[in-house]
């Protein structure tokens, strides 16, 4: 009876205080997660705010149930078809973002004197945006539906990667060696476990759920789904993985039954209750004294999350084809950490892999970023306008045209030889990168493990043996580095040539400048997509300090090369603008659109230009181009204005729009349509 009374007391304390703090935070228009964390802090043993506080064992058990149900609900919202659909674009964004933030978090941890394993956990913790906090902030800020789709596509892929990250980090926390062989064994075991569990579950669970749904018995459906959820979590735990992995897999398999909406409606109240307990438990473990000692780390990692996410997501989203404005807004909407970060920190601390201070810092960073996220979402649109207006003119032209170049690729059919060759080159890229990682990690391990034997056997000085091993590693790595660069060069050129086709040999190639800058951009994207994961995966095995220097040098060199190509593009577009303006001045209005439809064959690479005559009733009359801000609002750019016999090429922002002006617009079809709507 005492045990029952203690349990009831614990549950009553947790839920009652969570309810009070949630009401307060709802009135303050803040995510309820913050209220739960505050409730946990007040109930925890470190503040002694209440004469009673819950028993630690009870709270841990309830929190574990909360983790399982939260992950089950995330898996339930996860769709394999949706995942495959968004993978080409959101996958590139996540690859760049996660690799960069893990590298940045690891570097920050090492600079603060933490161990390699603690720094690796830190990188993983700060790399994962919070679905719960982010979704609430997006809903409260009433974000545009198109932008919301982009953000949720990124979150869908990130949720899947987050679960894989949990599965890999759990054995490391349990004592698996941070070595290449250890990682290979961990990864191989994970893939085998996932294949077995998912394969068997896919044959049974969706059919079972469909059968129960057909009986129209909601009670049986609820009990069965929750039973499957906890059953899969138990199997994952028995296999040596986190219970979160089992809950997520159960959600995916149940979702394949097609009864997601019904099950979500049934399980939602149960999930919310245990999620509240989970976040209260997170708050209870926070020690304010530790935060006071490590306030510098909280500040540094908060900056890593906000600045790192803003840079990496905006670059990744832009390279995948999103307009600059959308890319920046999506990036600033993902500048928070939450539930996945708590689980990773909890795994590390509970197994003694990282110090308990990491957990306190994680919660503090989550709280700070939860408060800053709504402010950053609100500031994202004016910030994107500021960035766009202050970009150098060549970069403004490039950002306006890049989307139109990628738009051409959407017309390429699936069976085209482009995709066949592209898939083969991507496969070679993956293989070369994998073997390069193997060589780097093996060479690093050899200098520690085999160097003494090599020195004794060949009677070499210690330095000479080390140089010999590193030299051998470099020799073995060179062919794979060359292979990666060749694949990037060929793949970038192949895709660019499909978007802006080259001319026959002997003819003047007027599309050379835009094709060159598109090729270079694609090659840079491939280098980032390969190089950043390479840095993130190899840095724990190499002497600290090489990767930051290498990153700065590579970015500077690539930036110089890219800038030269962007300047050449500016000259090409200006020549095209002059041709368009002269032709429009000499043609009757009814022939102008016909000419503009044909202009891409004459001046390739300036998109599909379109013109609009400014009518007297237009709201654009009397405003400058800077005030209209078409490029930031729509992604469309004005490359020429014809005014009677006058022609203004590549007009500056201070140019005043007048009645009767003909504006020549370039950009994607959607961007041009939006710009015309604003101008009309």
Q: Tell me: the pLDDT tens digits for 320-375?
A: 888 888 888 888 888 888 778 888 888 888 888 888 888 888 888 888 888 888 88
| pLDDT on residue 438 | 82
* pLDDT tens, residue by residue, 72-128: 887 777 777 777 777 777 888 888 999 899 999 998 998 888 888 888 899 999 998
Q: Which of 242, 320, 288 is nearest to 526 (CA)?
A: 320
User: Span 620-647, mean pLDDT?
Assistant: 79
138 neighbors 377 (Cβ within 8 angstroms)? yes
365 neighbors 129 (Cβ within 8 angstroms)? no
The CATH class of 2-21+29-43+64-390 is mainly alpha
- Which class for 6: exposed (0-12), middle (13-18), buried (19 or more C-beta within 10 A)? middle
Residue 510 backbone dihedrals phi, psi, to 5 degrees: -75, -15
337 neighbors 128 (Cβ within 8 angstroms)? yes
H-helix or E-strand containing 585?
helix 546-586
H-helix or E-strand containing 646?
strand 646-649
Report how far residue 389's alpha carbon sits from residue 399's, in angstroms, rounded to the nearest whole number: 12
What residues contact residue 214 under an 8 Å CB cut-off, 6+ apart? none
Alpha carbons within 13 A on the beta-carbon side of 543 = 6
Report how far residue 76's alpha carbon sits from residue 228's, in angstroms, rounded to the nearest whole number: 12
**What value does the CA radius of gyration of the chain take, rounded to a whole number of Å?**
28
H-helix or E-strand containing 648?
strand 646-649
Sign (positive or negative) of CA dihedral 44, 45, 51, 56: positive
- 540: which DSSP letter? G
298 neighbors 361 (Cβ within 8 angstroms)? yes
Report how far residue 373's alpha carbon sits from residue 428's, in angstroms, rounded to the nearest whole number: 40
User: Span 508-531, mean pLDDT?
Assistant: 82
Higher pLDDT, 679 or 591: 679
What residues contact residue 584 under an 8 Å CB cut-off, 6+ apart? 592, 595, 611, 640, 642, 662, 664
- Express as a percent the part of the chain with pLDDT over 90: 4
483 neighbors 530 (Cβ within 8 angstroms)? no
Q: Where are the alpha helices (DSSP H) in 258-355?
A: 260-284, 288-293, 295-319, 324-332, 339-350
* pLDDT tens, residue by residue, 281-315: 777 777 787 778 888 889 999 999 999 999 999 99
Least confident of 12-26, 89-103, 133-147, 188-202: 133-147
662 three-class SS: strand
Count of C-beta atoms within a 10 Å radius of residue 184:
12
- 54: which DSSP letter? -
Q: Which of 167, 271, 253 is nearest to 210 (CA)?
A: 253
User: Span 211-236, mean pLDDT?
Assistant: 85
| pLDDT on residue 659 | 84
| pLDDT on residue 453 | 61
Query: In terms of DSSP bridges, do strands 662-666 and 646-649 run parallel, antiparallel, or are they unpaired?
Result: unpaired
| pLDDT on residue 220 | 85
Sheet with 610-613, edge to edge strand ranges: 610-613, 662-666, 637-643, 646-649
* pLDDT tens, residue by residue, 160-197: 888 778 777 877 777 655 555 666 666 677 777 777 87
Query: In terms of DSSP bridges, do strands 662-666 and 610-613 run parallel, antiparallel, or are they unpaired?
Result: antiparallel
| pLDDT on residue 596 | 60
Q: Across the chain, what does the average pLDDT equal?
A: 79
Count of C-beta atoms within a 10 Å radius of residue 411:
9
Query: In terms of DSSP bridges, do strands 610-613 and 637-643 run parallel, antiparallel, or are they unpaired?
Result: unpaired
661 three-class SS: coil
What residues contact residue 197 under an 8 Å CB cut-off, 6+ apart? 232, 235, 236, 239, 249
Please check the confidence at residue 460 and state whether its pLDDT lies above 60. Answer: no
- Which class for 48: exposed (0-12), middle (13-18), buried (19 or more C-beta within 10 A)? exposed
Q: Where are the alpha helices (DSSP H) in 450-543?
A: 451-458, 462-499, 512-538
| pLDDT on residue 1 | 47
Provide the CATH number for the domain formed by 575-679 in this structure: 3.30.70.1450
Rounded to a whole number of angstroms, the distance between the first and last alpha carbons of the chain is: 76
| pLDDT on residue 412 | 65
325 neighbors 635 (Cβ within 8 angstroms)? yes
| pLDDT on residue 101 | 92
624 three-class SS: strand
Q: Which of 317, 504, 328, 489 is nearest to 406 (CA)?
A: 317
- 46: which DSSP letter? T
| pLDDT on residue 302 | 92
* pLDDT tens, residue by residue, 584-631: 666 555 555 555 655 666 666 676 677 788 888 888 888 888 878 777
| pLDDT on residue 471 | 78
DSSP assignments along 585-623, one per residue: HHS-HHHHHHHHHHHHHHSTTS---EEEE--TT-TTTT-
């Amino acid at each position: 009876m005492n045990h029952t009374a203690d349990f009831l007391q614990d549950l009553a304390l947790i839920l009652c205080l969570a309810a009070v703090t949630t009401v307060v935070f709802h009135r303050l228009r803040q995510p309820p997660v913050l209220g739960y964390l505050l409730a946990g802090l007040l109930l925890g043993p470190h503040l002694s705010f209440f004469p009673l506080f819950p028993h630690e064992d009870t709270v841990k058990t309830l929190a574990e149930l909360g983790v399982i149900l939260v992950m089950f609900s995330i898996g339930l919202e996860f769709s394999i078809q949706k995942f495959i659909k968004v993978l080409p674009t959101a996958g590139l964004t996540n690859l760049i973002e996660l690799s960069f933030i893990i590298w940045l978090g690891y570097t920050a941890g090492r600079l603060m004197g933490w161990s390699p394993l603690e720094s690796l956990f830190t990188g993983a913790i700060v790399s994962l945006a919070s679905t719960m906090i982010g979704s609430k902030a997006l809903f409260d800020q009433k974000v545009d539906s198109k932008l919301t789709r982009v953000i949720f596509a990124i979150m869908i892929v990130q949720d899947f990667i987050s679960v894989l990250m949990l599965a890999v980090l759990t054995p490391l926390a349990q004592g698996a060696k941070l070595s290449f062989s250890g990682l290979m064994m961990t990864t191989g075991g994970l893939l085998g476990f996932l294949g077995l569990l998912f394969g068997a579950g896919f044959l049974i669970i969706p059919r079972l759920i469909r059968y129960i749904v057909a009986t129209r018995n909601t009670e049986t459906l609820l009990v069965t789904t929750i039973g499957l959820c906890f059953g899969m979590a138990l199997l994952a735990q028995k296999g040596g993985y986190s219970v979160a992995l089992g809950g997520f897999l159960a959600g995916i398999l149940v979702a394949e039954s097609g009864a997601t909406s019904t099950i979500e409606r049934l399980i939602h109240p149960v999930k919310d209750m245990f999620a509240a307990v989970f976040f209260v438990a997170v708050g209870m473990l926070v020690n304010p004294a530790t935060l006071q000692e490590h306030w510098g780390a909280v500040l540094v990692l908060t900056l890593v999350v906000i600045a790192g996410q803003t840079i990496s997501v905006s670059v990744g989203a832009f390279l995948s084809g999103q307009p600059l404005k959308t890319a920046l807004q999506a990036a600033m909407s993902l500048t928070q950490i939450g539930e996945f970060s708590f689980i990773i920190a909890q795994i590390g601390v509970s197994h003694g892999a990282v110090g308990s201070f990491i957990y306190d810092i994680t919660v503090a960073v989550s709280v700070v970023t939860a408060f800053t996220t709504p402010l950053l979402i609100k500031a994202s649109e004016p910030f994107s306008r500021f960035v766009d207006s202050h970009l150098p003119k060549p970069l403004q032209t490039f950002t306006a045209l890049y989307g139109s170049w990628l738009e051409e690729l959407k017309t390429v059919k699936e069976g085209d030889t482009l995709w066949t060759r592209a898939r083969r080159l991507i496969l070679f890229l993956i293989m070369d990168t994998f073997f390069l990682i193997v060589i780097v990690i093996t060479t690093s391990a050899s200098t520690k493990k085999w160097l003494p034997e090599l020195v004794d056997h060949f009677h070499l000085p210690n330095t000479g043996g080390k140089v010999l091993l590193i030299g051998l590693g470099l020799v073995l790595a060179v062919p794979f580095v060359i292979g990666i660069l060749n694949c990037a060069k060929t793949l970038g050129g192949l895709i660019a040539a499909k978007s802006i086709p080259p001319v026959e040999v002997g003819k003047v190639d007027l599309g050379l400048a835009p094709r060159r800058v598109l090729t270079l951009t694609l090659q840079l994207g491939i280098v980032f997509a390969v190089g950043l994961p390479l840095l993130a995966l190899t840095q724990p095995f190499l002497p600290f300090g090489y990767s930051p220097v290498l990153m700065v040098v590579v970015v500077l060199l690539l930036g110089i090369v890219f800038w030269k190509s962007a300047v050449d593009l500016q000259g090409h577009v200006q020549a095209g603008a002059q041709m368009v303006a002269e032709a429009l001045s000499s043609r009757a209005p009814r022939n102008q659109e016909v000419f503009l439809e044909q202009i891409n064959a004459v001046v390739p690479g300036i998109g599909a230009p379109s013109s609009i005559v400014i009518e007297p009733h237009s709201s654009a009359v009397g405003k400058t181009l800077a005030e209209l801000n078409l490029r930031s609002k729509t992604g469309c750019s004005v490359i020429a204005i014809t005014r009677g016999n006058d022609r203004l090429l590549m007009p500056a922002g201070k140019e005043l729009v007048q009645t009767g002006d003909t504006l020549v617009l370039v950009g994607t079809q959607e961007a041009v349509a939006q710009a015309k709507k604003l101008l009309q």
